[in-house]
Amino acid sequence: MQHIIDRFISYVTVDTESDPNSDTTPSTAKQWDLANQLVEELKNIGLDDVTIDENAYIMATLPSNVDHEVPVIGFVSHFDTTPDFTGANIKPQIVPNYDGNDIILNKELNIVLSPNYFKDLLLYKGQTLITTDGTTLLGADDKAGITEIVTAMEYLIQHPEIKHGKIRIGFTPDEEIGRGAHKFDVAKFGAEWAYTMDGSQIGELEYENFNAAGAKITFKGKSVHPGYAKGKMINSMLIANKFISKLPKEEVPEKTSGYEGFFHVVGINGSIEETTVQLIIRDHDRKKFEKRKKLVQKITEKINRKFAKQFGEDIAIAEVKDSYFNMKEKVEPVMHIVDIAERAMNELGIKPLIKPIRGGTDGSQLSYMGLPCPNIFAGGHNFHGKYEYVPVESMQKAIEVIVKIAELTAEKK
C-alpha cells in the first residue's frame, strides 16, 4: 500500500494543468515535467520500447511471456489535470482507517469533506483515503490511473509466473480539454483493443458515453448614450440572456442523470457591443443529440428574425462543433472486450457497475480511431475540485483488475 501511495503522491505533486486556450500540444509546458519523469520510471521498472514523441505522448511495451498467439491489448491514462480548479502546489493528506465522520481538509478555511453531503464516503469506512488540503484538486483524475497501470506492469515484470500476452501502455496529455486522443498514433500503439483507467468508483465499467459538442454563440449590439438610447441601443448582454432563457430549463447537468442529456452554459463574456456564450451539448442518443444542436441554431435564427429590421444583419452567430461521439457504436461489435473486464472483476470479488459515462474519455475518441477502448474505474471521487479523494484500496483493486485482464486475455481458449 505504501508503495502505491508514494508513487501516486510523486505524480500528483507535479502540476500538469492543461489550458484550453493554448494551441500547442501539450497545451502547457509543465505537462512535460511529469511526462519526462514517467518515461524514466517506465525504463527503470523494465518495460521495453519506451518512447515519447514531440507532443508528449508516451508509449511502452510489456513483452508477451507465452508461446501461443495472444491479442495485443493496451491500457491508457492521461497525465494532465483539469483547468476547472487549480492543480498547483497540491498537498495530499493521508487519512488512515477512515472512521465515517467529517474530514477536516482545511481548518483555517473551514473546508470539510463530509459524508452528510458526499455519501459515497461511507463506502470506504476503515480504508485509507488520500484527500486534498482544501485549496487545490487532488489529480486522481487521472494520476490514479497512471499509478495503477505502472504498478500493474511492475508487478507483472516481478511475477513472470503470471502469463500474459504483449501489453502496450499509453499516457496522453490534454485529455481534460478534449484533445487527449487527437494526436495519439493508433497504428504505432499496435493494440487490438485497450482500456482507459479513467473511471471513478470501484467497479465502474463503461462502454457508453455522451455524444458531445461545443457551441459558441456571439451576439452583436449597438452602444448608444443611455440618455438617448430609446429605439437605438441594442444591448448584446440582454439578447444573450434571452437566448439562454429559451434553452430547456430542466435539461441542465444539475437536474439530469443516467441517459438524460443536457445543455450546459459554461461561460459568458460580454459588453453592450458584443457578448459570447459558451455552451456544451451532451446526449447519449445520437438522434436527440442532433436535435439539441439544431435547437441552438433555431433559437439563434429566431433572434435574428426578430432584430432583422432594426439591425439589418444577423445579430447572433452560432458556431457548433462536435467534440466526440458515443463509443457504444464501436464497442458493441467486439463486446468480448467488455466481457473480459467484467469477468476479471467478478473473479476478484468486485461487483461490476456497468453504466453510461456522463462525460467522455480518451477511449471514446480512440474507439472511433480504430482502437475500441472501454473505461475502467481508477477509484477517485469528486473530480475537478477541492473535495476530490481516492481510497488507496480502490487503486489496489484496479491494479488487480489490470493483472487479471492480462491473465484472462492470455488464456488459449
Cα angle vertex 75, ends 70, 78, to 5°? 165
- At residue 311, the pLDDT reads 73
Q: How does residue 400 score in pLDDT terms, banded at 50, 70 and 90?
A: very high
Task: Provide mean pLDDT across the span 29-35.
Answer: 98
What does the pLDDT look like over 328-345, one tens digit per residue? 999 999 999 999 999 999
Closest residue by Cα to residue 393 from 378, 382, 408: 378
For helices 140-158 and 392-410, give the axis angle rounded to 10 degrees.
50
Is residue 360 pLDDT above 80, yes or no?
no
Is residue 178 pLDDT above 60, yes or no?
yes
Is residue 62 pLDDT above 60, yes or no?
yes
Q: Which cell is 248 given?
A: 430547456
Q: Which cell is 216 given?
A: 459558441
Is 141 annotated among the ligand-binding residues? yes
Closest residue by Cα to residue 145 from 76, 211, 219, 203: 76
Tell me the domains of the chain and their CATH numbers.
Answer: 2-209+326-410 (3.40.630.10), 211-324 (3.30.70.360)
What does the pLDDT look like over 199-256, one tens digit per residue? 999 999 999 999 999 999 999 998 999 999 998 888 999 999 999 999 999 999 999 9
Is 3 annotated among the ligand-binding residues? no
Q: How does residue 357 score in pLDDT terms, banded at 50, 70 and 90?
A: confident
Is 336 annotated among the ligand-binding residues? no
What does the pLDDT look like over 273-316, one tens digit per residue? 999 999 999 999 999 999 999 999 999 999 999 888 777 788 99
Is 198 annotated among the ligand-binding residues? yes
- At residue 413, the pLDDT reads 55
By percentage, how much of the chain surpasses pLDDT 70? 100
Instruction: Examine the residue annotation and report whether 362 is marked as an active-site residue of this protein.
Output: no
CB atoms within 10 A of CB 108: 7
Is 176 annotated among the ligand-binding residues? yes
Q: Select which of 15, 41, 154, 175 is catalytic.
A: 175
Q: Select which of 19, 80, 142, 283 is catalytic.
A: 80
Q: By the 8 A CB rule, do 385 and 135 touch? A: no
Work out the mean pLDDT of the chain and round it to a whole number: 95
Q: Which cell is 387 given?
A: 473535495
User: How far is Cα 47 from Cα 44, in angstroms, rounded to an integer?
Assistant: 8
User: How far is Cα 407 from Cα 64, in angstroms, rounded to an integer?
Assistant: 11
- At residue 412, the pLDDT reads 66
Is residue 154 pLDDT above 60, yes or no?
yes
Is residue 111 pLDDT above 90, yes or no?
yes
User: How far is Cα 36 from Cα 30, in angstroms, rounded to an integer?
Assistant: 10
- At residue 312, the pLDDT reads 75
Prediction pTM value: 0.88
Instruction: Examine the residue annotation and report whether 175 is marked as an active-site residue of this protein.
Output: yes
